[in-house]
Each structure stands twice: as structure tokens, then as C-alpha cells.
């Protein structure tokens, strides 16, 4: 007969994350305790809190969870498909909350406006993501699309992918952005070359590329402000 899974109720009352949250607030909980609440149950050999602590130790930090796929999560002992989906759903909810603001935040008046819109979505990613913001004639963001996910060091995107997506949503202009997982937003020569190709293609099609942002950890560089496009 199989042993039952450890549940949160099996942990001493003073150590239960749900009860600690109710008593002291969510800010008082550790990363492992918050993750344990998402997991709900542990394994036959460990509680949800112990499982959460082991997951964080194995992946390195809470930030490493952000860009992990369901397949990568289920490769960790103790995480099945249901638990992986719960983790991914919690991360995505946090991302959506981070980018939800007043309606005015969807109007881009400066590179900083676009960077603020994207920063919390992109600063923790462990691979390069190439993202486009599509704007109407009044500089309202009407759509956002991730067009490429690259390696740790390179993100490859072709101009036709950018402008196919822009035409699909009837965009008047485009702001491109990609992250540097190192946290350093200094543009590379490849970033500059890609930007100039995009600008040239946009001029031919009639859809202006307003900027290309490189997102780091709480920092960004605008290639337009740097005179590199």
C-alpha cells in the first residue's frame, strides 16, 4: 500500500504557510512558502514546503523558474504535470499583474514608456526574447507579440516576421525590444545591424520602426537615443 502524500496540514501549525500568511501577511512568507502554497501537496517523502525548498535549491533561484517550460519543470523529481501547470499559471498571473496599469500606460510617448511597459515581463528571462510593440497612429499599443526566443547569447529574427505581424494588426509603427539575460543592456554590433535592417525594411513598407530597446535588469538602452538607427 502506497504512503499518502504529505499535505500542508501535516506540517506543525506555526510552520504552515497558509496560516502564516493569514496571521502575518504574504510579505512575511519566504519564496519556498509561497511556492508551497501553489504546489498544495508534497510527495510521499516530503511536505509541500520541503518540496518547494528543494525545487528552488535545484533550479538556483526563484528567477530561474520564470523561463522554465512545463517539460523542464516536470523533469524535477516531485513535479508532475498538474504542479508544473500551477507554477506556470502563478508566474503568468504575476507577469500580467506587473504589466497591468492605467490605460495611459499603453500610450508610448518616450522610450522609457515602452521600457516601463516591458521591463517586468522581460528582465528575468533566461533566454533572449525578441518582442514587438505595435502602435496605431496615436502611439497607443494595440498589440504585442514575441517573435523569437533565442539562446543565452543570440536572438534571431527576420524583418519579414516583424512586418507580417505589423500588417496583420494594421499597425502604423513598431517598437522592437529584446532582453539581455546577463542584465547588461549594452547593444551588441549584431543588435545594431539588425535594427538598421528593420528600419530599412520599414521604410520600404511604410511602417516606421520607432525604436529598438535592449532590456537589462532594471536598465534599458534605446538605440534611437544612442543614435544607432
Sign of the four-CA dihedral 186, 188, 189, 194: negative
User: What b/e sequence results for 88-123 when a residue is b if at least 16 CB atoms lie within 10 Å of its CB, and e otherwise?
Assistant: bebbeeeeeeebeeeeeebebeebebbbebbbebbb
**Band (106; pLDDT cuts 50, 70, 90):** confident
Task: Retrieve residue 94's grid coordinates.
Answer: 504575476
pLDDT tens-place string over residues 133-169:
999 999 999 999 999 988 656 667 889 999 999 999 9
| pTM passes above 0.85 | no
| Residues contacting 138, CB < 8 A, separation 6+ | 107
Rounded distance, CA 14 to CA 44, Å? 22
Amino acid at each position: 500500500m502506497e504512503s499518502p502524500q504529505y499535505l500542508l496540514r501535516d506540517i506543525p501549525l506555526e510552520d504552515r504557510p497558509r496560516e502564516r500568511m493569514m496571521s502575518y501577511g504574504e510579505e512575511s512568507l519566504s519564496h519556498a512558502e509561497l511556492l508551497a502554497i501553489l504546489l498544495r501537496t508534497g510527495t510521499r517523502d516530503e511536505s509541500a514546503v520541503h518540496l518547494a525548498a528543494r525545487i528552488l535549491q535545484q533550479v538556483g533561484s526563484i528567477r530561474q523558474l520564470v523561463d522554465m517550460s512545463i517539460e523542464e519543470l516536470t523533469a524535477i523529481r516531485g513535479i508532475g504535470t498538474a504542479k508544473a501547470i500551477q507554477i506556470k499559471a502563478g508566474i503568468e498571473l504575476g507577469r500580467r499583474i506587473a504589466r497591468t496599469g492605467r490605460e495611459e500606460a499603453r500610450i508610448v510617448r518616450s522610450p522609457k514608456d515602452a521600457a516601463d511597459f516591458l521591463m517586468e515581463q522581460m528582465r528575468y528571462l533566461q533566454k533572449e526574447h525578441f518582442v514587438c510593440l505595435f502602435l496605431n497612429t496615436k502611439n497607443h499599443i494595440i498589440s504585442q507579440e514575441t517573435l523569437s526566443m533565442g539562446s543565452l547569447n543570440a536572438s534571431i529574427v527576420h524583418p519579414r516576421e516583424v512586418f507580417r505581424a505589423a500588417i496583420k494588426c494594421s499597425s502604423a509603427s513598431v517598437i522592437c525590444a529584446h532582453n539581455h539575460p546577463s542584465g547588461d543592456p549594452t547593444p551588441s554590433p549584431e543588435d545594431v545591424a539588425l535594427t538598421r535592417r528593420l528600419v530599412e525594411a520599414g521604410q520600404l513598407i511604410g511602417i516606421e520602426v520607432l525604436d529598438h530597446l535592449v532590456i537589462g535588469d532594471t536598465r534599458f538602452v534605446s538605440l534611437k537615443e544612442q543614435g544607432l538607427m
